[in-house]
């Protein structure tokens, strides 16, 4: 029945999905609780009800449902749905979700460790979780891991690994990854210096809305150095 509920949701038959998830949640299914909480949070197949969304996430989180842990962490991180803003609780929940293989949680917990938000700053632990997320294809993890390799925070400076990380983020279309890869080509870090490639990456980043890349392209246009 759970798969039937997922199929209904994915086909945007929210009313049917809501009914199935409700039945399963009442039977104690943590996955259904998580999905139902998301539907209440986003008014899909029902009236928006933040209190019910939070209650369902909390019930599912007690059963260690990975995405309930993650969704609840987002609420605590941002003080949403009536939940008190609490970075320490958010960090705990992101960590639990990360341990349970949620790639986005790996990114969030790494970012908090890197910045010392809701926890003690720890670059080496941040690098560990960025790497775990990168192994699972998270583009932001690739990009931020590249920054750590470039700056030597929590890891040894490694220009080649930095280049690989930014390249993977750029290949996935991440604007920040494209911009950072462009900087490497411009400076010849981890690769042969190539101003044409640097400009190409910067163009792509600008097209995706990257603010600094747009400023660079605009400046070059105004100087008459490129036509874009």
Query: According to the model, what pLDDT value does residue 227 have?
Result: 47
Please give the mean pLDDT across all residues of the chain.
94
Cα-based distances in Å from 57 to 23, 31, 62, 157 = 16, 10, 9, 41
191: domain CATH number is 1.25.40.10
Residue 211 domain flag: yes
pLDDT tens, 149-171?
A: 999 999 999 999 999 999 999 99
Residue 14 domain flag: no
Count of domains for the chain: 1
Residue 121 CA to residue 96 CA, distance in Å, equals: 18
Q: State yes or no: pLDDT of 224 exceeds 80.
A: no
Query: According to the model, what pLDDT value does residue 226 have?
Result: 52
Residue 41 domain flag: no
Query: According to the model, what pLDDT value does residue 106 have?
Result: 98
Residue 189 CA to residue 149 CA, distance in Å, equals: 11
Residue 34 domain flag: no
Residue 119 domain flag: no
Residue 190 domain flag: yes
Residue 64 CA to residue 83 CA, distance in Å, equals: 19
**What domain range is 195 assigned to?**
139-228
DSSP annotation of 199 reads H
Residue 228 domain flag: yes
Question: Do 226 and 220 meet the contact criterion of CB atoms below 8 Å apart?
Answer: yes
Residue 191 CA to residue 52 CA, distance in Å, equals: 53
pLDDT tens, 179-212?
A: 999 999 999 999 999 988 989 999 999 999 999 8
Residue 67 CA to residue 65 CA, distance in Å, equals: 6
Residue 162 domain flag: yes
- Phi, psi angle pair for 83, to nearest 5°: -85, 135
Which residues 6+ apart lie within 8 Å of 133 measured at CB? 103, 104, 106, 107, 110, 140, 141
Residue percentage of the chain with pLDDT more than 90: 90
Arithmetic mean of pLDDT, 217-226: 67
Residue 94 CA to residue 97 CA, distance in Å, equals: 5
């Amino acid at each position: 029945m759970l798969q039937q509920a997922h199929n209904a949701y994915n086909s945007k038959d929210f009313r049917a999905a809501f009914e199935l998830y409700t039945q399963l949640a009442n039977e104690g299914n943590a996955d259904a609780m998580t999905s139902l909480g998301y539907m209440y949070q986003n008014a899909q197949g029902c009236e928006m009800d933040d209190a019910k969304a939070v209650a369902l996430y909390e019930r599912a989180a007690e059963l260690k449902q990975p995405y309930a842990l993650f969704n609840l962490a987002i609420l605590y991180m941002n003080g949403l749905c009536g939940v008190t803003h609490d970075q320490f609780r958010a960090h705990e929940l992101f960590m639990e979700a990360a341990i349970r293989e949620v790639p986005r949680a790996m990114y969030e917990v790494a970012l908090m460790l890197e910045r010392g938000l809701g926890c003690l700053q720890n670059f080496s632990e941040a690098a560990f979780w960025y790497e775990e997320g990168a192994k699972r294809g998270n583009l932001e993890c690739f990009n931020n891991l590249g920054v750590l390799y470039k700056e030597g925070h929590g890891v040894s400076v490694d220009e080649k690994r930095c280049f690989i990380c930014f390249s993977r983020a750029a290949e996935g279309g991440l604007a920040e990854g494209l911009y950072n890869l462009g900087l490497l080509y411009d400076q010849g870090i981890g690769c042969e210096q190539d101003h044409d490639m640097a400009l190409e990456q910067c163009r792509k980043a600008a097209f995706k809305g990257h603010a600094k890349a747009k400023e660079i392209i605009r400046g070059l246009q105004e100087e008459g150095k490129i036509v874009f």
